[in-house]
Structure 1
Amino acid sequence: MFYWLLKYVFLGPVLKCLFRPDVRGLDHIPETGPVIIACNHLSFSDSIFTPLVLKRRVTFVAKAEYFTGKGVKGWLMRQFFVGTGTIPVDRSGGKAARAALDTQLRVLNAGNVAGIYPEGTRSPDGRLYRGKTGVARLALESGAVVVPVALLNTDEIQPTGTLIRAIKRVRMRIGRPLDFSRYEIAGTPAAGDRFVERAVTDEIMYELMTLSGREYVDVYAASLKNPAP
């Protein structure tokens, strides 16, 4: 209920008026059935603008720190994420990340829409970085199509560490659904095959690169934010 109130009564109308989203390819998102929305990640606001423009409800994951903030700001952020059905993910280990993927898998198995940022974190400089294979595992295990969604300028509207720097039109490009059922062997999903998962992930990232027009860098964004000692 809170999700729809935010989208259609409280937050949504204000944001649409201020930022006038320019969205192309909205008809590429299937009206029914499980769908994975795979986005590049430029800004915190990506998780606000993407659900705002899509007709179907989207369930994203977000780092657990967003749910544990202190003070009024922390409370407001926590209420927003809880109200919009966002799933917290502990990025400290593989088992915790797997738990988040399992939750997204339940969303897809129920015929709903799951949102994911294949890069795993926000881009540190606006470029597109190597995708992690969690998105491929979700697609292969669920059989859901993957719809690539490119955010073009949210880093200009809300750079990392700022609230809002500029009021300008949000631009978004949505690609055609990607179907990876060809990787099934005798009806058995290929999830768990690291070569297949890498190929699927790279195909998704290629589509995001084409849609976004951003330079692609074949390293993980997290490695730049947290370089090895």
Structure 2
Amino acid sequence: MRNPLGVLLLAVLLVPAACAAPPVGSAAPGAAADETGTAEQAASAPATARAPAGQGTAGTSQAVPSALPPTTQAAAAPARCRASQLGQVRRAKGRSFGGPVVSADVVLTNISASACFVSGWVGLVFVGSTTRTACVAGQPQSGCGELVDTTSTVRGPRVRHLTGSSDAVVVGPGADVAFSMVFSTDDCFEQPYRVRIRIPQSEGDLTLEDPGICLSQDFSVTPLGSTAG
């Protein structure tokens, strides 16, 4: 027969021991074991510190946004040149092609602040004459030695268009564009005092004073932007 007091004492001693023993199969504090034996971080472990805004975490790269190109507005195409834009006119030297055929180059300068374009052939109007009133010795007369006419339109030859590129030529501010007048000195019937130049599809004329040309039956011009020879 067991001693009841001894049984009670033994039960009191076993209870604390059973409470202190860890459960079978538990992992070390702070980790929970899975079936494969790998440890996952427990919920009670401290969370990984977050990087401040705008900074990447170690071992990673943060994409830098690419700079966007500035918005550009397409430049407007230049308009056709007006006569007033090509207001500076001068005669260049020209060339000799052997024999009586020679050329005189005419240079037009864009005096405006805007680019423009020209194409095709100019129109020409011949004005006046370089002929002067003769002076007879011993017979003084009014107007002796003066120009006979500087204002009348001269009935000139039919001006032919020489072949060449008639494509549009852009003339920037301060830039030049030229063409040539080609004629023969053999059958010169008049030397005009000035020439009025008409730009294609433009109102108004440009004036070339003292052009130094001969009006002959074979008189030609090159397209704007191209010179003879």
TM-score, normalised relative to structure 2:
0.21
| Richer in strand (by share) | 2
| Richer in helix (by share) | 1
TM-score, normalised relative to structure 1:
0.21
Q: Larger radius of gyration, structure 1 or 2?
A: 2
Task: Tell me: higher relative CO, structure 1 or 2? Use CA pairs within 8 A at least 6 residues apart.
Answer: 1
